[in-house]
A and B are shown apart, each in its own frame.
Chain A
């Protein structure tokens, strides 16, 4: 299945520019559920509720606030946030090449495939091949979904892979809960080494599956065979609910109108 690209532009370094598009390399893989009203299976909508005024809050009355301490906030507008949002970049500019082994796996965040666009196939293959031979990865800054990411471009079985990296400041230190000094007897050390040797295997990711997801999927398939699905009453109405802002405004007004009558 041809995946839709989420970005297209060029990978560049020194005088090389390779046109590419970015596609996802992983899916979240979660089975998601809709929340329904138990009485008639109407799909439910999320609304913002103000506990202080006991009322639903329409979108135009919602602002962002950064909590500096409980109950105290710095309000911030969309415009202010936009003013510090980086421009969408057209290039993935590799600034350094590094040894892949130097990167602690802790830094790896999300992987994406880079696919060559027309005219870029030859230099794409060449870069992938050379990076594979030298076990090197390119480091670049790249704006995706309004965030600037530090990314590694590396070779993966003939294809180029882009992995977003966590910033150093995002990593949490482990030192709070791990013991500082290791004191083990020689016997203990060799016993553990022995166990590891016995259990040594080739890494075969296909062997491991998300067992719960498989079970949920089986459960759903069985239920679909055994009983007809339930239908929400106003499916047509729900689908055509109308502009969300108007719906929210009407719901709020309606509630007040009903109270007055």
Chain B
């Protein structure tokens, strides 16, 4: 078939990728086609890590940082350093590239916080909120809302998306050339420790499993050149097809008040509808310039 002037062959489209609901590979590819306008800006110029599920979400998966060598010549790549070696990573800068990686059964797309050309300059800071059972996404919502208030008092705008699994991701757009991972890590760690000290029953800043039980772990260490985050609008490889979905803060307030964790799960169909109605709620992450205070 031909997409935006690029020729590519799609395969095994009838294969159920989410067997629990019968959601097929064709539907996965179609979801990515329909969300591309919102999603591609978040992928552009980043060394994408593909999480591939060749047999669907119930089968084995593998992470692929290296762009498969058989890629069409119009799929752009970037040389990146990874664990001491240089490798060539895919850049998903246009619709056709997104469809091509979707056809590779890359259900999940993970991105670094920096662009490939400036790998040491994060253009956003992230608070990765991960609930330890029995804490859930509602506990994360509580923490996210406190974080938002805290950040706004520091004159920092923030945005939130679901992880598509059980957590939430709070992003602070920076988009300034002088930002370093050292700064974003110090800042996020300090904020995480402060939250931990003030809400010891709700929050932990520590990786240790026993500390995370019943609490929300703020994984500040994601602010690192070597780490990747699930891209906004990526599908997740869980039983039911869900998406890492950007939310408006007011929406999160209402959903948290409703106390139904199911309401914080978004299916591909809902996400496409939301995008048609409200556009990209995460667009500000790529544009707003902010400076971290008090460092």
Q: List A residues at the B interface (Cβ < 8 Å).
A: 234, 237, 240-243, 245-247, 249-251, 253-254, 256-258, 261
Stretch from B27-35, B75-83, B145-153 that touches the partner: B145-153
The residue of chain B having its C-beta at the shortest distance from the C-beta of A245 within the complex is B294
A250 & B191 in contact (Cβ 8 Å cutoff): yes
B293 within 8 A of A: yes
B153 & A242 in contact (Cβ 8 Å cutoff): no
Q: Report B-chain residues with C-beta under 8 Å of the C-beta of A241.
A: 190, 193
Q: Report A-chain residues with C-beta under 8 Å of the C-beta of B189.
A: 240, 242
Best-buried of A241, A242, A247, A253 by chain B (most CB within 10 Å): A242
Cα of A251 to Cα of B187 in the assembled complex, Å: 14
Q: Report B-chain residues with C-beta under 8 Å of the C-beta of A246.
A: 187, 190-191, 293-295
B43 within 8 A of A: no
The residue of chain B having its C-beta at the shortest distance from the C-beta of A240 within the complex is B189
B150, B186, B187, B205: which contacts A253 (Cβ < 8 A)? Answer: B150
B198 within 8 A of A: yes
The residue of chain A having its C-beta at the shortest distance from the C-beta of B195 within the complex is A254
Cα of A253 to Cα of B191 in the assembled complex, Å: 11
The 6 closest A-B pairs by CB, nearest first: A242-B190, A246-B294, A245-B294, A250-B194, A253-B153, A254-B198
B146 & A237 in contact (Cβ 8 Å cutoff): no
The residue of chain B having its C-beta at the shortest distance from the C-beta of A254 within the complex is B198
B190 & A243 in contact (Cβ 8 Å cutoff): yes
**Interfacial residues of chain B within 188-236, with CB under 8 A of chain A in the complex:** 189-191, 193-198, 205
B194 & A251 in contact (Cβ 8 Å cutoff): yes
Best-buried of A240, A243, A256 by chain B (most CB within 10 Å): A243
Q: Report A-chain residues with C-beta under 8 Å of the C-beta of B191.
A: 246, 250
Cα of A254 to Cα of B293 in the assembled complex, Å: 16
The residue of chain B having its C-beta at the shortest distance from the C-beta of A242 within the complex is B190
Interface of A is mostly: helix
User: What does the 1/0 interface line of B14-50 toward A look like (CB < 8 Å)?
Assistant: 0000000000000000000000000000000000000
A237 & B295 in contact (Cβ 8 Å cutoff): no
With A237-B196, A245-B295, A257-B153 given, name 6 new contacts (CB 8 A). Answer: A243-B186, A246-B187, A246-B295, A249-B154, A257-B146, A257-B150
**Interfacial residues of chain B within 76-106, with CB under 8 A of chain A in the complex:** none
A242, A250, A256, A261: which contacts B186 (Cβ < 8 A)? Answer: A242
B149 & A257 in contact (Cβ 8 Å cutoff): yes
Cα of A245 to Cα of B194 in the assembled complex, Å: 13
A254 & B194 in contact (Cβ 8 Å cutoff): yes
Cα of A248 to Cα of B90 in the assembled complex, Å: 43
Q: In angstroms, how far is the closest chain A Cβ from the Cβ of B228?
A: 24
Q: Report B-chain residues with C-beta under 8 Å of the C-beta of A240.
A: 189, 193
Cα of A243 to Cα of B191 in the assembled complex, Å: 11
Could you give 8 example pairs across A and B, Cβ below 8 Å? A234-B197, A245-B294, A246-B294, A247-B190, A247-B194, A249-B294, A251-B194, A257-B146
The residue of chain A having its C-beta at the shortest distance from the C-beta of B153 within the complex is A253
Q: In angstroms, how far is the closest chain A Cβ from the Cβ of B197?
A: 8
The residue of chain B having its C-beta at the shortest distance from the C-beta of A238 within the complex is B193
B198 & A249 in contact (Cβ 8 Å cutoff): no
A243 & B193 in contact (Cβ 8 Å cutoff): no
Q: Report B-chain residues with C-beta under 8 Å of the C-beta of A257.
A: 146, 149-150, 153
A250 & B196 in contact (Cβ 8 Å cutoff): no
Q: In angstroms, how far is the closest chain B Cβ from the Cβ of A44?
A: 13
A249 & B146 in contact (Cβ 8 Å cutoff): no
Q: In angstroms, how far is the closest chain A Cβ from the Cβ of B83?
A: 25
Q: In angstroms, how far is the closest chain A Cβ from the Cβ of B219?
A: 15
Q: Report B-chain residues with C-beta under 8 Å of the C-beta of A261.
A: 146
Cα of A254 to Cα of B197 in the assembled complex, Å: 10
Q: Report B-chain residues with C-beta under 8 Å of the C-beta of A253.
A: 150, 153-154
Cα of A172 to Cα of B193 in the assembled complex, Å: 51
Cα of A258 to Cα of B153 in the assembled complex, Å: 13
The residue of chain A having its C-beta at the shortest distance from the C-beta of B187 within the complex is A246
B153 & A243 in contact (Cβ 8 Å cutoff): no
Q: Report A-chain residues with C-beta under 8 Å of the C-beta of B149.
A: 257
The residue of chain B having its C-beta at the shortest distance from the C-beta of A58 within the complex is B294
Q: Report A-chain residues with C-beta under 8 Å of the C-beta of B193.
A: 237, 240-242
**Interfacial residues of chain B within 95-132, with CB under 8 A of chain A in the complex:** none
The residue of chain B having its C-beta at the shortest distance from the C-beta of A236 within the complex is B206
Q: Report B-chain residues with C-beta under 8 Å of the C-beta of A249.
A: 154, 293-294
Q: In angstroms, how far is the closest chain B Cβ from the Cβ of A187?
A: 74
Cα of A249 to Cα of B186 in the assembled complex, Å: 15
The residue of chain A having its C-beta at the shortest distance from the C-beta of B146 within the complex is A257
The residue of chain A having its C-beta at the shortest distance from the C-beta of B152 within the complex is A253
Cα of A249 to Cα of B153 in the assembled complex, Å: 9
Cα of A240 to Cα of B220 in the assembled complex, Å: 13
Q: Report A-chain residues with C-beta under 8 Å of the C-beta of B146.
A: 257, 261
